Structure 1
């Protein structure tokens, strides 16, 4: 089994805090998610996460006008400069203080950063020529410091000619600065607001300045004569100053302005308020165009794309991210992550979707290809603790603390069956028979295992035997055998379809936390509270192997820990375990920042994955920094907000209807942990539910250029020349050696249909896995249906014996091919079903000249109808495919 998994994507969280950015072309949205940056392609309906990670949560983002350089700054002022198209971190830099505002100039030559009370302007990193004719990369060169504010700078806005910029501050003022000294220009202070200024902008002609304060006041400033000054033209410059020309107020009752954005070309001002409402206003008349409620909590940030058509809103309290097209009044993007921690995850049988359940009572279905949540179920009234897929069909089962087990139809997206116990119980574990005939659930309130019939919904039986709460259940993949783990230090193996449901316990020395079946149903893996990972034979009821995993899972210390991370191994254990697709390895995670991959046969730790390096979470650092230790304890545990000037930041509004709240509420630090892990059915990826979201690790996320068996004669040019000469097998082998995706695809599609069988016949077996993977991907992505099927037929006909003898080696590739063929089959079957009635109808018509012409017009346009998306990343129910006509003589 290959183990070089790399971080591929982050799902489950779409926005946490910080500012949102539109790409210069307006098609992509950049959102800070914890210590990472996610990019949402709004046109192609895809999302991906940049591979770099900060050491703390990201506070500010800025993108240069060309859109190729991204500057991201965390809460401590440490910045990373990234090449966005290549997804490469270029440089690390520290501003040495917290950065509260960041903006590139329209010319792209400078960027300004609000660092505390001052504004620093830096040259944009670029290449420079030195005296010897050499070219050097100059990462960060400071231009100037601008000092004058008395409190934090909240917003920086440049003029369109990049000569001036405005800074809005918490000290109730906005100031205008010039990049370089200008004749007759003096830095100007715009004062008059009664609360902090959240934004300041130039109009398109730069003759007007707009400022918005937190209390909902909008001031319009113009350059005019001082009151009482003379009209003498010679003294005009001395008598002119920026003055308030008009005042407007938003009037949102008890709510205050949390964010605002201005689009100069269309004179649109968008303001977000603390009550979840946003308003769109046309300036300078201050005409309200729209006023809508999009959240129950603060709207933290708003951004406008370059054309002024799309508005992006971020609400950190509920993790909401919205893109609104205000002219058509429709959502372009509407996404929300889980409010509470994720409890369990499961892959769909086809490996294309991941289901997550959380303590907020929601069940979300995530599409792996797009990275978006396509549907959310909210029928559960309490935390959802477990989820499991039926092996056949699109049926999902979930267990909840509300005392119900529910079955979901993922084709029609509805709850079609609900199972309950005779007494009110909180279910914590779940298992489904492979045939989907029975479903079992365990509870922490009762020591019994409940079994229901899926067809009738009736309770069939209750299995007695455990003397403690049932913590984990698992069905054998071949059916018939159920294993259960309990806090009574035992694992029991049940044959639930036998006449008697007696079971012999497998005795362990500590509480059982999780059990998992190997894919061949002959072995189970058990994790216990004392940090042990043991493997048992099901048929012999004997232990085959054991691993002391306490040292592997331990790592990272909390701020309140008195011991270093290496000495707290006794308190660490794995809470979740799963087998790989081929059964040779197990993946385990727990209340730790590590995910461990073990080889089952030898018990060796193959690889250890670090979930997070985010210091904003507890348990990510190995040693505490002595500089952050004070007389009152670690600095991170001290509530520095104390006597905060903004009372709204301290009041806890968690109780419905509470207006005063708890002014003494304290904020707690989240702890890094892994609550669930799951392998993809293809074996090419696995996902882990962590504190930061749903992390996906994949074998296919490596760089495009990953050569093997390469020499100097193999280049893209020589490969294309070999292809031109008609040596197709050699050209294909050369393309595989270079492993450039576009080149491999070009060579693949250039091979004539008549030569496919010959190329496959002489193909060396070392390239067989790569060719199978390529054909499976092309069958999913390219429109050449028959061409791809001919390749699959030739590969299976010629190398079928070799594939069967080495099925373990090619398991992932064969699953991918099987999935592609099954999809093609289902689409063709659906196409035939859609057209058969039209053909019968037209054949039944009386034959005439008009009908003959009409019969030539039967066609279709073949839109896929799997549902689960409205083409814009929104969470919607499934939809039927569009139907059209098909040409037929």
Structure 2
């Protein structure tokens, strides 16, 4: 089998042809070499054992995948909704728009809550990143990015910084201050550099490290202060669209989803994929851990949301209806984990009973597709962003 792993590109002299080109660090039998793309491809071909071809390796992988599914099926003895039959049904569920945040000049693409349960950061196709006071709807900070389509933004755990990025292929970190006259752009740090657009970012449990996902098919862990790449995660076969960090104190795992229809769980220490699930029929737009960290939900363009139990190593529930024909763009759990909020491309937000698999409410208000959705840290409200240029706080 191939024993090479490719990481991020750098520029320098190729160790094989000695030409000045963009390089890929190649690890072969624990030895690190720097090869250009052409030499790396030749190396990968030479690394195949005798009588092995790409077709035979793919066939072997499919065979192993089939055996894995057979073992999972043996343990699939009961459905989640059957276990939850004796659980009391949820009563009347009513949520309304309490605040509408207006200020973006184009589609809202991403948002995140501050740990103080009050402030929100949002990013938009207009190239603006805005920090809001969700109580008063006032704008506290605004940053104009050097590109449009700012597809990712995140609040630092301390609440003293924000991260954002998009078509510039970078993740930039801006410190937040109370001095209104201070130029935030002057203190910007360019932390991460991918070879394609930045699709998602999330701080770890401190302000010092940040996870990023990209259209180059990789995820990466970076040191915020130095901008150094700490770990890269390779395994997706197409654009990575979303990620979420496990809600544990150590925070050593995260889940990602992408255009290859796969949801993958990663160990941040080793850089290895420890679990993979491929049951969706289209792109996975959003992933979110269950509050306990033992499961996660995903939302996809196949118009379904799905729940995966990490201990059972399988999908345990599908949230869908025949009347729902548009893709799910964003998902998040209530603080208790009983409810799953899902934003859809048909302008609605559906609320699902996680245990029983039934829809308990539909929320209307947005005038275009719902692109992002997050529950507040204290669970008392959630915020949604839309292509109608607005954000709404629901409670």
TM-score, normalised with respect to structure 1 = 0.27
Give the equivalent residue in structure 1 for 2:52: none
**1:711-750 equivalent positions in 2, closer than 5 A:** none
Aligned residues: 253
Give the equivalent residue in structure 2 for 1:479: 293
Give the equivalent residue in structure 2 for 1:524: 340
> 3-state SS of the aligned residue for 1:342?
coil
Structure 1 residues without counterparts, runs of 5 or longer = 14-337, 550-569, 600-889
> 3-state SS of the aligned residue for 2:329?
strand
Alignment partner of 2:388 out of 582, 592, 606: 592
Alignment partner of 1:6 out of 117, 135, 138: 138
Give the equivalent residue in structure 2 for 1:386: 200
Change (3 A) 1:586 1:575: same
CA distance in 1, matches of 2:187, 2:241: 24
How far apart are residue 501 of structure 1 and its match? 4.6
Asked if the contact 1:469/1:488 (under 8 Å) is kept, the reply is yes
**Structure 1, residues 150-207: CA drift from partner, whole Å, max 9, x if none?**
xxxxxxxxxxxxxxxxxxxxxxxxxxxxxxxxxxxxxxxxxxxxxxxxxxxxxxxxxx
Asked if the contact 2:347/2:369 (under 8 Å) is kept, the reply is yes
Give the equivalent residue in structure 1 for 2:234: 420
**Residue 434, structure 1, aligned to residue 238, structure 2:** no
The structure, 1 or 2, with the larger RCO (C-alpha pairs under 8 Å, 6+ apart) is: 2
Change (3 A) 1:522 1:411: farther
Give the equivalent residue in structure 1 for 2:110: none
Change (3 A) 1:544 1:502: closer
Change (3 A) 1:362 1:592: same
Give the equivalent residue in structure 1 for 2:358: 542
Change (3 A) 1:424 1:548: same
How far apart are residue 502 of structure 1 and its match? 4.2
How far apart are residue 391 of structure 1 and its match? 3.5
Asked if the contact 1:451/1:459 (under 8 Å) is kept, the reply is yes
Give the equivalent residue in structure 2 for 1:351: 159
Change (3 A) 1:580 1:500: closer
Asked if the contact 1:417/1:457 (under 8 Å) is kept, the reply is yes
Structure 2 residues without counterparts, runs of 5 or longer = 1-132, 178-183
Give the equivalent residue in structure 2 for 1:884: none
Asked if the contact 2:191/2:224 (under 8 Å) is kept, the reply is no
Asked if the contact 1:390/1:434 (under 8 Å) is kept, the reply is no
Flag the structure with higher strand content.
2
**Structure 1, residues 794-824: CA drift from partner, whole Å, max 9, x if none?**
xxxxxxxxxxxxxxxxxxxxxxxxxxxxxxx
> 3-state SS of the aligned residue for 1:405?
strand
CA distance in 1, matches of 2:197, 2:311: 31
Q: Aligned Cα RMSD in Å?
A: 2.4
Give the equivalent residue in structure 1 for 2:377: 581
**1:549-628 equivalent positions in 2, closer than 5 A:** 549=365, 572-599=368-395
How far apart are residue 500 of structure 1 and its match? 4.2
Alignment partner of 2:175 out of 338, 348, 367: 367
Asked if the contact 1:472/1:514 (under 8 Å) is kept, the reply is yes
CA distance in 2, matches of 1:498, 1:407: 28
**Structure 1, residues 50-75: CA drift from partner, whole Å, max 9, x if none?**
xxxxxxxxxxxxxxxxxxxxxxxxxx
CA distance in 1, matches of 2:237, 2:278: 17
How far apart are residue 404 of structure 1 and its match? 0.9
Q: Which has the larger radius of gyration?
A: 1
Change (3 A) 1:437 1:580: same
Moved more, 389-398 or 528-537: 389-398
Give the equivalent residue in structure 2 for 1:490: 304
**Structure 1, residues 181-236: CA drift from partner, whole Å, max 9, x if none?**
xxxxxxxxxxxxxxxxxxxxxxxxxxxxxxxxxxxxxxxxxxxxxxxxxxxxxxxx
CA distance in 2, matches of 1:372, 1:539: 49
Give the equivalent residue in structure 2 for 1:400: 214
Asked if the contact 2:350/2:359 (under 8 Å) is kept, the reply is yes
Change (3 A) 1:413 1:518: farther
How far apart are residue 458 of structure 1 and its match? 1.2
Flag the structure with higher helix content.
1
CA distance in 1, matches of 2:187, 2:360: 41
How far apart are residue 584 of structure 1 and its match? 2.3
**1:298-317 equivalent positions in 2, closer than 5 A:** none
How far apart are residue 543 of structure 1 and its match? 2.3
CA distance in 2, matches of 1:344, 1:500: 29
CA distance in 2, matches of 1:536, 1:522: 8
Give the equivalent residue in structure 2 for 1:136: none
Change (3 A) 1:517 1:392: farther
**1:755-834 equivalent positions in 2, closer than 5 A:** none
CA distance in 1, matches of 2:205, 2:186: 24
How far apart are residue 571 of structure 1 and its match? 7.2
> 3-state SS of the aligned residue for 2:279?
coil
Asked if the contact 2:191/2:226 (under 8 Å) is kept, the reply is no
Give the equivalent residue in structure 2 for 1:24: none
Asked if the contact 1:11/1:372 (under 8 Å) is kept, the reply is no
CA distance in 2, matches of 1:499, 1:358: 33
